[in-house]
Amino acid sequence: MRTNAGDRGVAALAARACDECLDKREQHSIRQTSAYLGTALCRALATTTTMVTTMTTTTMMMTSASSLKAPTKRASAHTTKTRGVAVRFSTRRSAPARVCGASSNLRRETRVARSKECSTIARAVREPGTDEEALPDDDFKPSELKFQDIVSLWVTQILQTYGDKESKDNAPVCEGVIDDLVGGPIFLALYPYFRRYGGVFKLAFGPKVFMVLSDPVIVREVLKEKPFSFDKGVLAEILEPIMGQGLIPAPYAVWKNRRRQLVPGFHKAWLDHMVGLFGHCSNELIRNLDKVAAAGEVVDMEERFCSVSLDIIGLAVFNYDFGSVTKESPIIRAVYNCLQEAAHRSTFYVPYWNLPFADVVVPRQREFKENMGIINETLNGLIKKAQQFEGTEDLEELQNRDYSNVKDPSLLRFLVDIRGADVTDAQLRDDLMTMLIAGHETTAAVLTWGLFCLVQQPELMKRIQADIDEVFGDDDRTPTYDDIQKLESVRLCIAEALRLYPEPPILIRRCLEDVTLPKGAGDVEVTLIKGMDIFISVWNLHRSPECWENPDVFDPFRFKRPFTNPGVKDWAGYNPELINGLYPNEIASDYAFIPFGAGARKCIGDQFAMLEATIAMAMVLRRYDFELAKDPANVGMTMGATIHTAEGLPMRVKLRK
């Protein structure tokens, strides 16, 4: 079905389509489902304890698109377990991007006094050790997950689902088929079930179950109150061949050490200096777009945003110029090919890549090995280059240095200095690879979807451009930190794009111990069982009608207005008075908005990303007008490490008058 931009009937039509899909799906019998999974279960028990998990859970991270638009009606959470309800997910090959509806309220809110705003934003770039979650004592060790825990969980779930055993977790059950997860991005398919079953429900695939969490009170319990009762689960297994034991996939013991070493690198003096670097790299993008505008060509803005983000990460983290805005780098091709291989592994039933000589016999595995060789050779060369120069190991001196006079202001240089002789090449390589992938994907995605939403609302676009003009006038200088303090509306656009298109749309965890959850918007007490895999659906959370007014509408100024809902027990609502940085975070929203995660394992590069995205967005909107070169409904969505468009974001670019 084709729709025009701004069509207010899109949400209603999507809701009806979802309801029909849910009601009319063919029912799969218990015997069919059990037989289907029997072979997989035997294979799993004969090889590893997480075989079935690998076949299913990680498809949400990188699979290509399917479509299933979400219903907008409110639905109360089911309070009793339902047995034998077999439902299938839609697996159409292309997921249409959500058309951003026009905001019904574009009048300018009363501006906060400049002095108050500046004092608030001045606290945005936090000093190391502040605004961070407290860590356990040094002798703390999280619970360990053993083979018998997995087997016990599987047996219990089989008896509960297909027998008369009383439910231990007390969650409503939604059964499915493994093929449904392989077909497309699961975050889209989960939304209608969230609206039907509520903020906590169990997705059952024979003996394998996933608890889906979409309630802010419950998310707060998992991410903030009990973060070390969970690990990253199957996510770590998929990312390990690429990121090693970098900060994202690392187990607790490794993560704790990594975090202590990395957090000081994102200190205020360094971030202040990075603002100039962000502007420098964005100027390369501007020069490129000037040529496009002069020629009257159509340009893929997603690709352009991805290129400038890569260049920024290269210089900021490695002191290496990828130059990807003007040319394609071999290492960048290698990185993307490795991510595609990770996507393939996340959706394939049998881990044949672990077989002896697979990287010699199988062509795609040979290519993966070659690409990893290119990446490792480049990173190892940069590490050795940084290690050739002796520097100070004094943290205070490093954090107070004048980076404008430093030959190599990169994060790699800082890490080599502060770690001294204790650092290993493998540790640095894992950290750098993690930052290379995570550092550019999120920024490129939020810029892409932010522009996608803005071009569909011309009046809002004019308002944002007027705010930018008010800050810069006719001056085409690169933005300074003082300018960022004043560009509130641009920062809110970035935040709103992260709300509608969270990166990533699902967080993965695995229970290391039994955890009883608060009720939140439901009225039953659910228990997460040791060994159970968890989907924290950020997509559902950010688009929940229980937490957001008109949740599918792109309205950056919603973050200026408070919102409460007594129906969500123990949720404090959204309070703009609690914003104390560059963006409204999990504190202001009481965990209804978690664009960079939350709790102890929250992304340490959130300030970096917000500064980078604000500068890039402000610079392109200051100079150009954009027109989408295709129907917004046909842009589509796919999954890489983040949400991408299906085939790019083609735009016509014109110099502003």
3-state SS string over 229-287? HEECCHHHHHHHHHHCCCCCCCCHHHHHHHHHHHHHHHCHHHHHHHHHHHHHHHHHHHH
Q: Is-contact 319 413, C-beta < 8 A?
A: yes
pLDDT at 339: 74
Over residues 550-601, the pLDDT tens digits come to 999 999 999 999 999 999 989 999 999 999 889 999 999 999 999 999 998 8
**Alpha-carbon torsion 213, 217, 218, 224, what sign?**
positive
pLDDT at 397: 63
Structure tokens at 375: 């990446």
Q: How far apart are the first and last CA of the chain?
A: 36
Closest by CA to 22, choosing from 73, 87, 68, 71, is 87
Q: Cα dist. 132→94, 415, 467, 602 in Å?
A: 40, 20, 32, 9
Over residues 268-284, the pLDDT tens digits come to 888 888 898 899 999 99
* pLDDT beneath 50: ranges in the chain: 1-94, 103-131, 421
pLDDT at 563: 97
pLDDT at 87: 37
pLDDT at 433: 85
What is the distance between the alpha carbons of residues 581 and 16, in angstroms, rounded to a whole number? 40
pLDDT at 395: 56
Q: Which residue spans within 514-587 are E strands per DSSP?
A: 515-516, 527-528, 533-537
pLDDT at 268: 80
